[in-house]
Structures are given as structure tokens and as C-alpha cells.
Amino acid sequence: MKIKLNKLKEEKQQEKIKAIKEQDRLEPYLLENGNLFRIYIIKQREDHYTCLFSNHHAILDGWSGPLLLNYVHSSYIKLLTKQNIEAAVD
């Protein structure tokens, strides 16, 4: 979900981000419906974004979560430097 907060002052942005986090924590994951993770991309300035990622423990745990986030981060760095991203085949 994309959220634009860049027209707000930083204090109001932080309040909105806190509210988004609190609302997300209250929204249950329904296993029978799928959609077991949520991503929020929040624009705070032209050059500053915040990414919130939440998930059900059935799809990511303490071991696999950091692996995914490291892969996303390294892919992002490659995109910034115009390098190709190779898809990992499992």
C-alpha cells in the first residue's frame, strides 16, 4: 500500500506512521484467505521513504525473516547501481 505523507510536517508524519503500525497490529491475518503479509510504502519526502513490513509467523520466522530482508536490501542496492538482479531459484 502506498501512503503519501510528504505534505505533512515531520511530527505529524511520525504520528500517522505510529497510527498505521497500531492499526496493522490490530488487523488479524486469516489463514484461509491468504495474504499473510502486508507492505506499506510511506513517502515522507521526495528522497525519503519508510517501508513497513508485517507478516504472519506461518510464512516468516526469526530465521527466514532476515534472509528475505537481506535479499530485498541487496536487490535494492543493485537496482540503485544499475546492476542485474538474478532471481533465486529454490
Whether 27 has a pLDDT exceeding 80, the answer reads: yes
- 71 CB contacts (<8 Å, ≥6 apart)? 88
Place of cell 528522497: 47
Strand (E) or helix (H) holding 51: strand 48-55
Instruction: Report the pLDDT value the prediction gives residue 38, as an integer from 0 to 100.
Output: 95
Whether 12 has a pLDDT exceeding 80, the answer reads: yes
Instruction: Report the pLDDT value the prediction gives residue 87, as an integer from 0 to 100.
Output: 78
| pLDDT tens-digit series, residues 37-81 | 999 999 999 999 999 999 999 999 999 999 999 988 999 999 999
Whether 88 has a pLDDT exceeding 80, the answer reads: no
